[in-house]
Structure 1
């Protein structure tokens, strides 16, 4: 039996015998359990008059949701990457660098093709996940959902901070140009959109 199951069973049994949460907390503290472990175990049960301890819903993980959120995460990453690629190509076209002989072409077509494929996939997956969550509010407790949302937030935050650091470095180095500022703003804007989207997802 896992430690989390041990303490959960103890809390259930203690509540069934009429012990108060304060007494249970004190006993577990004396036994060496940490405050977060005790709080989590107590949060898993509630005492109701005339009833045995009532279990509270707990986070869960499923293979189906791992597939859905994995594809959603992949689609969002591909879309964000190729949006930046296309945006930078557009900036290069509008503000050309005379020392750069590269004219692009194939990379832009590749980005457009990727967006044509992955944007509908992202929208369909997002719609399906939203529909499932509306039908069953318990899906909001999915560990897979929380892990993928947290991972996406971390990646977007790292990209945003790295972009800001490079912008400051370029400014201090005296190489700050309009072209560079537009590209940095593009990357920051895409990262910010991802942050806003998944922040709402985490709060939802």
Structure 2
């Protein structure tokens, strides 16, 4: 039996014995379980009524439709982020003269604009449906698919921000830091920060 199964079984037995949930939670935290683990274990049982023992709630499920939905949401966010950065880079190239005299082409803006026109409405629609689905979940369950994709997104965004900082410091130390480079680094940092802000309420990650 895994530790999670042992925790779940202990909570079931304690509730069946009529113990108060607060007392059970305090005892488990003193034993070393985290507050998240304790909360999940307690939420997994509904107090029995009419002589019934504690009733198990539906656990977290990983459905194909959830993987498809949140996978598409993840791809949409990734496409928006990448092509927004691409578009901003093109605008910066148009506004700030290249120190090496390389000309900027307005045609470089066409593809990211086309992608943004398609993926922005799709992302907004999926995002709205995702939050509506969480609010209407009668069992209060969190999607493992959403949690997984959110974790991947946060990891990638954090690595991008770290890489952006390293590139900025390297350019400064190497004497290659220009206004154009600094502006592009700021765009990357802003987009990465917005993604982290978007997932700020993902407390289940």
TM range (shorter): 0.7 to 0.9
> Is 1:196 matched with 2:197?
yes
Tell me by how many angstroms 1:99 deviates.
2.1
Distance 2:40 2:69 in 1: 30
Distance 2:134 2:46 in 1: 25
Counterpart mapping for 1:52-67 below 5 A = 52-56=53-57, 58-67=59-68
Distance 2:46 2:135 in 1: 26
Structure 1: runs of 5+ lacking an equivalent: none
> Is 1:88 matched with 2:89?
yes
2:160 maps to 159
The aligned length equals: 195
Structure 2: runs of 5+ lacking an equivalent: none
Higher helix share: 1
Q: Name the SS for the 2:176 alignment partner.
A: coil
Tell me by how many angstroms 1:18 deviates.
6.7
Given that 1:167 and 1:181 are in contact with CA atoms closer than 8 Å, whether structure 2 keeps it comes out as: yes
Given that 2:168 and 2:182 are in contact with CA atoms closer than 8 Å, whether structure 1 keeps it comes out as: yes
> Is 1:169 matched with 2:164?
no
Tell me by how many angstroms 1:139 deviates.
5.9
C-alpha RMSD of matched pairs (Å): 3.3
Distance 2:73 2:41 in 1: 34
Q: Give per-residue Cα distances to partners, 1:128-179, cap 9 Å, x unaligned.
A: 1122223225465111111111111111111111111211121122222111
